[in-house]
Amino acid sequence: MLARVIYSESRTEPYRGQVAVGAVVLNRLNSGQFPNSLRRVITQPLAFSVIDTGTFWLRPNASAYKTAREALRGKDPTGGCLYFFNPDKSTSLWIRKLKPRMKIGRHVFAKDLI
């Protein structure tokens, strides 16, 4: 599941950005602010647009599995971020409440709400 969300959310992003997406999913799992299972974190309503669009079901490539393994081993280029979005594509108003921390590729990563 982690490789699927990495692939569907960030397959066109740089490798570091793909690892970062995986780290955000795992940070949510470990935060206590989100559901307590990987499946529930990924499928939480409005959490990841790829669930709603159906692209979550794309078949991950080898790189997605490699980045998932890195994230599972604790690599986190975001330093604990819980959110990411692409400002060129995101239309949700709630992202305006995020305090951006860094940008990797086209994704902006945030740890907290403003």
| Tens digits of residue pLDDT in 2-59 | 999 999 999 999 999 999 999 999 999 999 999 999 999 999 998 898 998 999 999 9
Closest residue by Cα to residue 48 from 69, 62, 34: 34
| Residue 3 confidence (pLDDT) | 98
Measured distance CA(77)–CA(19) in Å, rounded: 7
- Dump pLDDT digits (tens) for 71-110: 999 999 999 999 999 998 887 888 888 999 999 999 999 9
**pLDDT interval class at 114 (50, 70, 90):** low
**pTM of the predicted protein model:** 0.94
User: In sequence order, what are the residues at sequence separation of 6 or more whose Cβ sits closer than 8 angstroms to the Cβ of residue 12?
Assistant: none
| Residue 93 confidence (pLDDT) | 82
Tokens 């490789």: give the residue.
Answer: 3
